[in-house]
Amino acid sequence: MTKKEIVELLYKKCKEKKIFEFDNDFVKKILAEVGSSTNPYDITKLDNSSKYPESLKKENVALIHIGGGKHKFIPYFNKLYPEFEEIDDTEKIDFLYRPSILNDFSISESSILSTAFNHRIIHDFLYSDIVANPKIYISERKRGLNFEYFIGKEKLYFDNLQIEIDLTVEYNGYVTVFEAKNVNKNWINDFNIYQIYNPFRYYYDLKLKNKIDIKDILAGYLLRKKEKDCSVIRLYLYTFDNYKDITSLRLIKKREYKLKRRNIDTIFK
């Protein structure tokens, strides 16, 4: 069975029981019943809408993590997978750079974040200043998070949640968290809003509790696609106007950088 078919089966079983919350043991049980060797912890990771079966999208049903190895189907798919906005020609930049020998060695998210930071693309995007000197913290894992939040008027809870933060950038008290994804032939159309909300909320709660002196917190999303003779990086910067409402996402700015290798023939062109 495909991952989509297994997710569809999980939802069908939950509908039959009229209980839409389940844990990892339930996922393992379903996998055993269908004879699938799929990683049970990967089944519930749905980072964009293309990972969903069409039946759930038609019913406006999304699968979310609620912490402690538990998950839940909720009727808010259309609110939890915002689409990436188109990037205008005026927001596209040809970025000449001299790549490190390690630039194309890895296709991991941490690798492309390192490339974007080392070549000061993130500096240009966030601060319009390539000589700015922000601090970075790569690939952090936070455990045991608890907080309540809203999807519109409905209150939901996280209990003992574990989150991953691909990159955190801090500059003069301003913090930006990043999610990053490599794409293949085509750009992905949307993303799971929790990928940036959970890291945003983690730092926002620390700010509210006066545990760290943060002036502001923003959330970025970075996409990288490799083309024949270059890499293209798309960057989006967001905030949440109401930190407790996950649907209050607002785009601040967006940009596309086409990374072109600099050499002796093109350096002055």
Percent of the chain with pLDDT over 70: 94
105, pLDDT greater than 90: no
pLDDT value of residue 267:
46
Q: Binning pLDDT at 50, 70 and 90, where does residue 100 land?
A: low
Give domain limits for the chain: 3-80, 89-261
pLDDT value of residue 207:
95
pLDDT value of residue 269:
47
5, pLDDT greater than 90: yes
In the 3-class helix/strand/coil scheme, how is the chain assigned residue by residue?
A: CCHHHHHHHHHHHHHHHCCCEEEHHHHHHHHHHHCCCCCHHHHCCCCCHHHCCHHHHHCCCEEEEEECCEEEEECCHHHHCCECCCCCHHHEEEEEECCCCCCCCCCCHHHHHHHHHHCCHHHHHHHCCCCCCCEEEEEEEEEEEEEEEEECCEEEEEEEEEEEEEEEEEECCEEEEEEEEEECCCCCCECCCHHHHHHHHHHHHHHHCCCCCCCEEEEEEEEEEECCCCEEEEEEEEEECCCCECCCEEEEEEEEEEEEECCCCCCCC
Distances (CA, A) of 119 to 135, 181, 235: 14, 18, 14
Among residues 260, 267, 188, the alpha carbon closest in space to that of 221 is found at 188
Report, as an integer, the average pLDDT of 177-196.
Answer: 94
120, pLDDT greater than 60: yes
171, pLDDT greater than 70: yes
pLDDT value of residue 196:
97
**Whole-angstrom Cα distance, residue 244 to residue 151?**
9
Read off the pLDDT of residues 79-98 as tens digits, 9 standing for 90 and up.
999 999 999 999 999 988 77
* 15's tokens: 């509908």
Global pTM reads 0.91
Report, as an integer, the average pLDDT of 4-19.
Answer: 96
**Whole-angstrom Cα distance, residue 238 to residue 253?**
7
Lowest mean pLDDT among 102-111, 135-144, 151-160, 217-226: 102-111
Report, as an integer, the average pLDDT of 217-223.
Answer: 97
Read off the pLDDT of residues 259-269 as tens digits, 9 standing for 90 and up.
887 765 554 44
Q: What's the mean pLDDT when you consider all of the chain?
A: 91
pLDDT value of residue 104:
59
**Residue appearing with tokens 């062109």:** 269
Strand partners, 176: 169, 218
